[in-house]
Structure 1
Amino acid sequence: MVEIDLTPPAAAAKAAEQGLKLRKEHKRGGTRVGVARAHQLMKREPLSADVVKRMASYFARHAVDKNGKDFDNAADPSAGFIAWQLWGGDAGRDWADKKKAELTKKG
C-alpha cells in the first residue's frame, strides 16, 4: 500500500512564517491553534491525517473571509488574512484539500 506524504509544502511554510510576522507586527489575527499550526507548517515535518483534515475544514469555513474589505491589504492586512496565512495561505489550502481527497480515497 502506498503511503501518502503529509509533509507540508515549502509555500505553505513560507505563508505561515509571513502570518506569524504579520501577527506580531499588527498585534491581531489568528488564535493559539493558528499559531501552533503555523509552527507545525514551518517545521515541514509530516502532519497527521487528522491535522490535514482540520486544515481543509478551516479553509472551507473561512473562505468567506477572503471576500472582506482589505483582506490582503499589504499595509494593513485584515485579521482574517493573517489567520489565513498562519494556516498556510492559499498554498496550504490547496495542499490540504488535495491531501484530504487522497486520504478519503484511500479509506
Structure 2
Amino acid sequence: MAVPERYRDIDFTPPEEAARAAEKGLDLCDRFDRGGTEAGLARARSLKKRQPLPPEAIGKMVAYFQRHEGDKIKGNFGDDEDPSEGYVAWLLRGGDAGRDWAEEVQDRMEKADAAAAS
C-alpha cells in the first residue's frame, strides 16, 4: 500500500477493538445470512486481520458511518440473537470502535493535507 509521504506519521492499522467487532459482524452475517454486502465483507476481513487500510478506505468508512448512524435506533440494533441488517453491517466496518478510529485517522489526514498545502 503506497501511502503519501505527508501521512507517514499516521498509523493506518485498525485497533484491536475494531478487529473484534468486525469478526463478530462476520460471525453474525454467517449465522443469520444478513447485513453483508461484498464491500462490507471485504472491509471486515481486512479489519479482522488488522491490515493497514489505504487512505481512501478511511474516507469511505467515515462516510458509511455518517450515512448509517440512524440505523442504531432501528429494529434489532445490538441484538446478537436476532440482529438487524444495520447492526451486522455496522459491525462489519468495526462498530463504534471502527467509527471512532476512522474519524480520528481522517482528522489527522486532513491536518496533514492542510500542512502540506501551506
Same fold (TM over 0.5): yes
Cα displacement (A) at 1:3: 1.7
1:44-90 Cα deviation digits (max 9, x unpaired)? 12111111111111101110100102211121010100000000000
SS of the equivalent of 1:40 reads helix
Structure 1 residues without counterparts, runs of 5 or longer? none
**Counterpart Cα distance in 2 of 1:19 and 1:46:** 19
Distance 2:32 2:109 in 1: 36
How many residue pairs get aligned? The number is 107
Match of 1:31 among 29, 37, 47: 37
C-alpha displacement at 1:42, in angstroms?
Answer: 1.1
TM-score by length of 2: 0.87
Percent identity between the two aligned chains: 48
Instruction: Indicate the RMSD between aligned Cα atoms, in angstroms.
Output: 1.1
CA contact (8 A) 1:30 1:80 kept: no
Equivalence map 1:46-57=2 (5 Å) = 46-57=52-63
1: CA distance, partners of 2:61 / 2:35: 17
Match of 1:90 in 2: 96
Q: Distance in 2 between matches of 1:93 and 1:18?
A: 15
**Hey, what does 1:21 align to over in structure 2?**
27
Aligned partner letter, 1:105: K
Aligned match of 2:46 in 40, 43, 55?
Answer: 40
Structure 2: gaps spanning 5 or more residues = 1-5, 114-118
CA deviations on 1:30-55 (whole Å, 9 max, x unpaired) are 20000000001011121111111111
d(CA) in 2 for partners of 1:69, 1:44:
30
Structure with greater Cα Rg: 2
Residue 12, structure 1, aligned to residue 23, structure 2: no
